[in-house]
Structure 1
């Protein structure tokens, strides 16, 4: 019996332990069986991969299984960002995509993301169907060279059509002419080279960091664009006098932002900036979708601009389908992943970075001044989180302890409501909140909070931790 389980976006595991060629072929056969059952097999499947150890070979193994099942494979010829592969689904009208990537996980890991025909994260219903087909049928294989000879595997470059798409969403020429200095940290991942190529040919300079392929991700715990991993970017931005710093995670579906002073702008604040940009600068109107673990600034912007806001559990497998259902202009999560209307219902760190740069130019303001402007609209918002591991056998007792908790105050603020969908969220009297959420795939829980004062954050997190008993 397989132990493979899809998390918030795909299956991830340690290379050579659970992440093996045998298991990649097992998942690939499940994908092939699903495509046939869903009558999507005749449309073919995109197969792409990132810069991690062995990703190209794991992608080849996936292609061999799909081809053996009579499914035409469009195989990327180089490491390619997840949003670029997702867009290729629409461009080629394919039945979906299989992407070999562990996104922001440590270098010891690799993963397998499945993107359905609508080019977003697989919904819970699709995930259930995929998991139900694991080990259902014998694995078929056709050697890659033979599959290519028969025309079942076709190598292609997904980059050109994606770049053309972004050119239709953002005025790239105005950014090229602006004479700005942009530092971009690709974190040794698949997003390397995209921003420099998009903005080449003008007075704006794009200076790359960590743009070479290195599967060990040296100097960082993992390719996740959060404050603790961006010391080099912050230092370079500050010392060089650059206008903005941008970072992407390992497969470039998440974005990180560093302001002109070399300070990290957290993911919730970036979500607020992007939503404000679309509403106020671009004049877009429509629903906005947010996960339970991200900012209440979105709710306030919804009130100010008269647009509805929908909240989902954590993960784009919930956010993406809700974006499609509501024709939302933006969807976002706490981890720095944002999807946009007129594009794909999927996170795209590269497009998000272009929108942030364009916002800076349209307002003629630095990133720090843009954040100040946002706060004048919605009030100040500060955020932090702590991650805690625990012995797996203690999970039931910890879950029960949090489920039973009915605190009157947290961080010195009155608790006015507790919700339990997707986690245990405590809403406080001034609009601040605290969330306790258990990982579905490992013995880990996270305590998140957002408040209107930076000073209250440590006490809120401490009170949240006390509720868990850890």
Structure 2
């Protein structure tokens, strides 16, 4: 029986770059999750009888919200929901399932790399029919609807069994519980030279993959251990847990320190990698050699032709604006376009759909290609393994060759977390007010050539996105970028991206901190971070 439940709006349901993310206790408020889901459905048209994909990263509250979504999807007229067994579905696997099944769209329940647990974070993101995150015009409409919603529709029923593969009925709707791993793993086999990677592993190549007790565990075990023949135990923390085993499932050098220490040890494996809460980010570390996400994007683009799925070459490369310019030099050498977009994977979707780009990446550990419409952590690891197998070199040697060919972009991101929102907004407002006075001024980083507030015009539909981050460019090609992140759940996070380019004839072996020290000082001089935030050092450096 369908119920129409009266409700009142919540004023804090504006989706960020990756959906709505809040603390679990916020989502546990009566009607909170249902309000947002109904607002999504209210902004969609012509989905009667269509298919919806549903799953998440297994974090706390995942199973409960899946039941709410199933009951509401049935009440609102969907004909079928495909749900990952146990509620598990990585973000890239969800994107693939939406595309492969011809689904109308999908709901991904995740807060990505944010912590999980009863006192931590939860999130809901709507993906459209191309498998990618909803574009801004859709998320803006959803937000507007959350402010006026007066009721939601839900079927009165008991919980659906989401642990047993097969189909069942919920009202007039079919619920199909599917294997979350198999189709995705099959897709990976079409893109990469699995026999060559298997041979490399059988010949003694060693690797370690940390799933961080998050969603990629089942995917990594199936692909790396079962299909590629890596020894059992190659995948660490392989069981998805509601609290991620008290891990912070962000694959960076702070939260994946155990992997970093393993890779820097005397007896380190040849290759190390990690993924995040929902499986769309990656960390790459060779033996005694950390690879920045920006460098990883550049190396993958430069060598993608070694993988069967990309043997015909790339149509273009896209990177988010804060990502280092290392990929730009690869695009120039390959003679293909380079697109600089705002942060947020949804901005890559139009380029991929139009066939204008093949590989995309963000400095925040996300890379992917046109095989899905999300970033994809395991995909990036497999492409690295394919390149290592094809070239017969280690990670450090490949990085040295790359820098010798293209020069090196020394790069770091400084995050100042949980800042009072008004202070963060005041810092950015002061920066923007000062933009006209910055060109020609001199500070510890050198002479500023130009400064602007990045705006993007989408080349496929001419839509414009403004206020995407303040860029300060120096005469020697160095950059500092200031931007407020949209992925946190409390307060604001100021991200400061610091980049220095050294050409092939310069010193390519400097310590990153030493290379960037003048620009780090310049960032304080330009933005008065200490004065506005009260923080004299970043919360996290990556």
* TM-score of the aligned structures, taking structure 1 as reference length: 0.93
**CA RMSD, aligned part only?**
2.2
CA positional deviation for 1:445: 1.5
Residue 85 of structure 2 is matched in structure 1 by 77
Find the aligned partners of 1:61 and 1:18 in 2 and give their Cα distance: 12
1:313 paired to 2:342:
yes
CA distance in 1, matches of 2:40, 2:427: 36
Number of aligned residues: 465
Answering whether residue 488 of structure 2 is matched by residue 444 of structure 1, we say no
| C-alpha contact (below 8 Å) 2:306/2:390 kept by paired residues | no
Aligned twin of 1:42: 49
* Residue aligning to 1:271: 297
Partner of 2:124: 112
CA distance in 2, matches of 1:202, 1:297: 31
Partner SS state of residue 113, structure 1: strand
Q: Are the structure 2 counterparts of residues 171 and 125 from structure 1 closer, same or farther at C-alpha, using a change threshold of 3 Å?
A: same
Superposed, 1:344-383 pairs within 5 Å as: 344-383=372-411
Contact 1:339 1:347 in 2 (8 A): yes
Residues 52-98 of structure 1: CA distance to partner in whole angstroms, max 9, x if unpaired? 11211111111111111121211221222111111000111001110
Moved over 6 A (4+): none
Structure possessing the higher radius of gyration over alpha carbons: 2
Q: Which moved more, 1:393-402 or 1:47-56?
A: 393-402
Q: Which residue of 2 aligns with 1:419?
A: 452
C-alpha separation in 2, matches of 1:97 and 1:252: 16
Query: What is the rounded CA distance, in whole Å, between the counterparts of 1:187 and 1:229 in structure 2?
Result: 9
Corresponding residue number in structure 1 for 2:142: 130
Deviates more, 1:452-461 or 1:431-440: 452-461
| 1:461 and 2:520 aligned | yes
**Any stretches of 5+ residues in structure 2 without a counterpart?**
1-8, 161-167, 455-467, 503-511, 530-542
Tell me the alpha carbon deviations over residues 374-396 of structure 1, each in whole angstroms, 9 at most, x when there is no partner.
11221012111212254333345
SS of 1:136 mapped into structure 2: coil
Distance 2:227 2:128 in 1: 36
Q: Which has the higher mean CA deviation after the structures are superposed, 366-375 or 26-35?
A: 26-35
Aligned match for 1:6, one of 15, 27, 31: 15
For residues 171-219 of structure 1, give each alpha carbon's deviation from its aligned partner in whole angstroms, at most 9, with x where no partner exists. Answer: 1122112122211100111000323322425654360111123333346
Larger displacement relative to structure 2 (167-176 or 383-392): 383-392
Q: Answer whether contact 1:290 1:331 (CA < 8 A) is retained.
A: yes
Secondary structure of 1:253's counterpart equals coil
Q: Is contact 1:123-1:318 (8 Å) kept? A: yes
Offset of residue 49 of structure 1:
1.4
Q: Deviations over 1:117-149 (max 9, x none)?
A: 000121111211222332535211112558835
Contact 1:21-1:61 at 8 Å conserved across structures: no
Aligned to 1:195: 220
Of 124, 127, 148, 2:169 maps to 148
Residues in 2 aligned to 1:190 and 1:239: alpha-carbon distance in whole angstroms? 30
Q: 1:176 aligns with which of 178, 186, 198?
A: 198
